[in-house]
Amino acid sequence: MTGLTGFRNQSEWDVPGGMPVLSRGRHRRPRQGACFMEFASYLAGEPWSDHPACTHPLLAFLARGVNDFTSDSARQALARHIPSVVGLTGASPLIDPAITLRAAVTPLASVAETRQRALAVGVLSCRSALEDAGQETPRSAELLKQAERVAPLAMAWARDFTASVPTFRRPVSFSRRGRAIISTAVLGAAEACVSDPDALLRSMLLGAIADTEELVREEIVRGEEQRMQDPVDSEVRAAASIR
């Protein structure tokens, strides 16, 4: 499938052999190694970068964090998922809060109390962003219920906290807030008191990829429906079919 920005099915890609081993941080050239997003830039045919245009910026931010905080022994298993982020981007205002909500809820039950409260505030911030957009994502209701179920005290504290915070005239953009929430979530998952923090980080990233895929598909479908309803566009298609 191709869409607004070249969205492709993962089945159309395969990770070639002989590529650099995934490692932490940024690398100037493939010979020095590669992180998750640098590998994605290579597969997309873009200049070598950990900020390729082929992937939604906030999803790429999450992927870089998961790459860097996953242990060396588990990081190589992430490579099979790199093709799924190539071309995965769109303009929907729901994508940022969807990615952030997934990141915040995934480790919520496992992090320390201070981080749990911070992530609970992040969950409410995501909910507000979705309400401002006037829509829910396919998974948002489920994730919000999960947050209330696994961390009821933290969510209650977050509601009291946000009610006491004054509203500023110039609110911080959600993209900026999303990065702060995701950073807290990734670090919290990496340091969580669980037997396999790597699995928690991987689940966070794969869930965010799946959420983004759904939203990009919806965006593509809406775009196609609008084009079909455009009378001028319909006439052009009809004329082209006669030739």
Of residues 80 and 27, more confidently modeled: 80
Average pLDDT, the chain: 86
Q: Which two tokens stand for residue 195?
A: 């037997």
| One-letter amino acid of 209 | I
Q: What is the pLDDT of residues 66-107, one digit of tens each?
A: 999 999 999 999 999 999 999 999 999 999 999 999 999 999
At residue 42's C-alpha, the angle toward residues 75 and 37, to 5°, is 40
For the segment 171-199, the average pLDDT, to the nearest whole number, is 93
Rg of the chain over Cα atoms, rounded to whole angstroms, equals 20
Of residues 168 and 103, more confidently modeled: 103
C-alpha to C-alpha distance for 80 and 168, rounded to whole angstroms: 43
Of residues 237 and 211, more confidently modeled: 211
Of residues 166 and 218, more confidently modeled: 218
Residue 28 pLDDT? 75
Give the contacts of 238 (CB within 8 A, at least 6 positions apart). Answer: none
Question: What residue segments make up the domains of the chain, in order of their start?
Answer: 10-229
pTM value? Answer: 0.84
Give the contacts of 130 (CB within 8 A, at least 6 positions apart). Answer: 94, 97, 98, 101, 136, 137, 140
